[in-house]
Amino acid sequence: MQIIITGGAGFLGQKLAKALLKNPIEFDELLLVDVIMPGVPHQDERIVCKQVDLSDPGVAETLIRTDTGLIFHLAAILSSHAEKDFDLGWKINLDITKQLLEACRQRKPGIRFIFASSLAVYGGSLPKEVNDTTALTPRSSYGIQKAMGELLVNDYTRKNFVDGRVLRLPTISVRPGKPNLAASSFVSSIIREPLHGEQTICPVDPGLGLWLSSPDTTIANFIHAAQLDPAQLGQWRSINLPGLGVTVREMLNALEKVAGNSAVGLIQFKTDPAINNIVGGWPGQIDNTPALKLGFKADLHFEDVIHQFIESDRSQV
């Protein structure tokens, strides 16, 4: 069986590839594709890396083979970026998703199709408890595009063109590396930069509630989603991945416990209205129950999430 990861050069794509090489799922080839050439995450002859632009006509179809069994569709234009470059957001976040689904339908119906959606599909005036029955009224183009992608995957699944599973990701923290073009980039920066002894800016109010998942937990949930039997899933395939609800203040308290007062002192508060608009509209708490019942996992304490980052940071050096 061939497994495909789109967005294979990204942080999640690379981390997912590494986890798959530990053989939770049997496969013969793991194809990483991205607009920039994906790095080889680990020496393994089953890995193939390709630099392709999935938005070029016909490209999606060239990737799907008769032995393709599983696609992780992670490629995306992130929230702030999609807000600034409206056309690019539509092209990558919606059109490519359609083209990939269509390629599956044409070349090999029934492929397990894992679509990375986001809590950004929620927005506007939300009830106290957001859950699977809450209407999606996103206030960002990224959220709109992801919500439309979810509908697509669900319809292609109903028609048996793919066996889709939509994962609504919480905000991922702590991401390694540099800030990215997600409006939620600060959710990692306010931990990562101080741990590296660097100054950083927090663009939101410390009282803001966030809904988080650590990188390790997120990757474990991706692999779990791919292993679930269709019979375990309902007809509607959009799943709110479990998260950890914390305020920015609670994150900083955890940072202080782990790294001391001086670390927190490196954070400057300076409100950014554009970021506040987007991230402030996301839910800070979502009902975890259905996903936990399906066997997905959540992080329990933000201190543990910080320790996870420190360990993984150390092993990179």
Q: Which spans of this chain sit near its own copies (rule: CB under 8 A)?
A: 86, 124, 127, 132-139, 141, 144, 147-148, 151-152, 154-155, 158-159, 235-236, 238
CB of 107 or CB of 139, closer to its own copies:
139
Specify the 3-state DSSP secondary structure of 31. Answer: strand
Q: Are 71 and 111 in contact (CB under 8 A)?
A: yes
122 assigned to active site: no
Residues pairing with 117 in the sheet? 168
Min. distance of Cβ 244 from its own copies in angstroms? 23
Residue from 72, 113, 115, 142 carrying the catalytic annotation: 142
Min. distance of Cβ 148 from its own copies in angstroms? 5
Min. distance of Cβ 98 from its own copies in angstroms? 8
Intra-chain end-to-end CA distance of the chain, in Å:
34
CB of 236 or CB of 269, closer to its own copies:
236
Give the H/E segment covering residue 218.
helix 215-227
Find all residues with CB under 8 Å of 31, minimum gap 6, and list them.
2, 3, 4, 5, 8, 48, 49, 50, 63
Min. distance of Cβ 243 from its own copies in angstroms? 18
Q: How far apart are CA 118 and CA 122, in angstroms?
A: 8
Q: How far apart are CA 236 and CA 251, in angstroms?
A: 34
CB of 70 or CB of 148, closer to its own copies:
148
Residue 153 backbone dihedrals phi, psi, to 5 degrees = -60, -40
Q: In the numeric block, which tokens belong to residue 30?
A: 């793991």
Min. distance of Cβ 305 from its own copies in angstroms? 29
The verdict on whether omega for the bond into residue 59 sits within 30 degrees of 0, i.e. cis, is: no
Q: In the numeric block, which tokens belong to residue 195?
A: 């741990």
C-beta neighbour count of 174 within 10 angstroms: 24
Catalytic residues: 142
